[in-house]
Amino acid sequence: MDERHTGTVISTKFQTILEEWGIHLERVHCMVRDRGSNMVKAMQLSGFEDVNCAIHQIQLCIRASVESQEWLLQLTTKLRKIVTHFNHSLDA
């Protein structure tokens, strides 16, 4: 999408895609989405039932947990450097 990702633009694009793919609105029972305000607004404008994605919620919880542990952040940084070294070295 070249336009800004506003709820209005997403809603319009979503409805256009459904039409292009031949999916009738009555066949859409529920949309799974992230908690972004633009996605919430898009589904409200589209008139679809919608739910938060459970996997996205779990991922956000895990990220917050990891980022709250300084030792884990330091370990991750060191491990990334090691992986980068081996990925870019022909001799390693």
**The pTM of the whole model exceeds 0.75:** no
**pLDDT (tens digit, 0 to 9) for every residue of the chain, 92 residues total?**
688 999 999 999 999 999 999 999 889 999 999 999 999 999 999 998 999 999 999 999 999 999 999 999 999 999 999 999 999 877 76
Give residue 92's pLDDT.
Answer: 60
Three-state secondary structure of the chain? CCCCCCHHHHHHHHHHHHHHCCCCHHHCCCEEECCCHHHHHHHHHHCCCEEECHHHHHHHHHHHHHHCCHHHHHHHHHHHHHHHHHHHCCCC
